[in-house]
Amino acid sequence: MSEDRSTSGHKTWLDKLTQAFVHEPKNRQELLELLREAHANEVLDIEALSIIEGALQVSDMQVRDIMIPRSQMITIKSSQTPREFLPDVIEAAHSRFPVIGDGVDDVLGILLAKDLLPLLLQDDTERFNIKEILRPATCVPESKRLNVLLKEFRATRNHMAIVIDEYGGVSGLVTIEDVLEQIVGDIEDEHDVDEDSHIKPLPSGDFLVKGLTPIEDFNEHFDTEFSDEEFDTVGGLVMNAFGHLPKRNEVAELEGFRVRVLNADSRRVHLLRVTLEKS
């Protein structure tokens, strides 16, 4: 006869979580409070709590909240030769690129970087026709909910969508990774800061900055004079600017910088995107 789990002294995390929900939550806020209480009681670890909070948050967010804006899109012109556009592809190190015709609003399709590999075997790349290897571009409105977009990404196996404004113009793009990062936090990719680096420049001119970056290093890199008397790290400085522990995608102005939180949990800020404000 199998031993009853309730008397065995070895309860799974699901057993403990179920036990924590003695009083059924009546709304999402009560549910979140119960989950955070479960974390405080060591029923849930911080990673699990963060993922659950992110999943709940996604249903309230729209594409416009996380899209890469039009001004920061890296595109390829259909009229360019491989010799002309390959340096940008190599520098950006992305896997997908929108290909445009007469302008950014004229998106002809999506180029997968892997589809360029046959170029290595061609002697005459001038005969290359980029339109022959384009994948169809999926367009979505700025107002689309992220949970709906994620479902569509999974159903169609697309990884990128062009974001359209109310007038039919291109306002940005969004990837499946952008959506998933709202749930699981920052995903390691070509934009992530190296293990031994605190500040990394992006092709757009912005910077990825770790929350644990010493203020002294930040000042040296950006030629600023933020005080490190009260806080040691940029994360502490940013939390002070917000006045609370910020969540993903919250934005604050910080003496000439626009700071967006890319990754944070219930205890500290992990990763920031820093934009220099134009004077």
Domain map of the chain by residue range? Answer: 10-61, 64-184, 199-276
pLDDT in tens, 88-137: 888 887 889 999 999 999 999 999 998 888 776 766 556 778 888 899 99
245 falls in which pLDDT band (50, 70, 90)?
Answer: confident
Amino acid at 22: V
Q: pLDDT tens digits for 159-201?
A: 999 999 988 999 999 999 888 887 876 655 544 444 446 788 8
**Predicted local confidence at residue 250, as pLDDT:** 85
pLDDT above 80 for 203? no
Q: Distances in Å between the alpha carbon of 193 and those of 201, 211, 217?
A: 9, 11, 15
- In tens, the pLDDT along 37-66 reads 877 777 777 777 777 877 887 888 889 888
The H-or-E segment that residue 182 falls in is: helix 176-184
Q: What integer pLDDT is reported at residue 123 of this predicted model?
A: 62
pLDDT of residue 269: 85
Distance CA 115, CA 86 (A): 12
d(CA 166, CA 70): 14
Instruction: Please state the φ and ψ torsions of residue 121, each to the nearest 5 degrees.
Output: -100, 0
The token duo for 228 is 């490190």
Q: What is the pTM of this model?
A: 0.58
**What CA–CA distance (Å, rounded) separates 164 from 152?**
16
Q: What pLDDT does 205 receive?
A: 80
Question: Residue type at 232?
Answer: D
Secondary structure class of 104 (helix, strand, coil)? coil
Within 8 A by CB and 6+ apart from 125, the residues are: 81, 82, 83, 119
Q: Does domain 199-276 have CATH number 3.30.465.10?
A: yes
Residues forming a β-bridge with 96: 112
- Please count the other Cβ atoms lying within 10 Å of the Cβ belonging to residue 54: 19
Distance CA 246, CA 52 (A): 17
Q: How far apart are CA 269 and CA 212, in angstroms?
A: 8
**How far, in Å, CA of 63 to CA of 141, rounded?**
8
The total of other beta-carbon atoms located within 10 Å of residue 262's CB is: 20
pLDDT score at 8 = 45
Dihedral Cα 83, 84, 87, 89, nearest 10 deg:
-100
The helix or strand, by DSSP H or E, that contains position 252, with its residue range, turns out to be: strand 251-253
- Using DSSP's 3-state secondary structure scheme, residue 275 falls into strand
* Domain at 64-184, CATH from 3.10.580.10, 3.40.50.720, 3.40.50.10860, 3.20.20.70: 3.10.580.10
Q: Helices (DSSP H) in 41-156: which residue ranges?
A: 46-58, 63-66, 82-92, 146-156
**Among 143, 180, 136, CA closest to 163:** 143
Q: Give yes or no for a contact between 250 and 260, defined as CB atoms under 8 angstroms apart.
A: yes
pLDDT over 70 (residue 10): no
> Cβ(161)–Cβ(173) under 8 Å?
yes
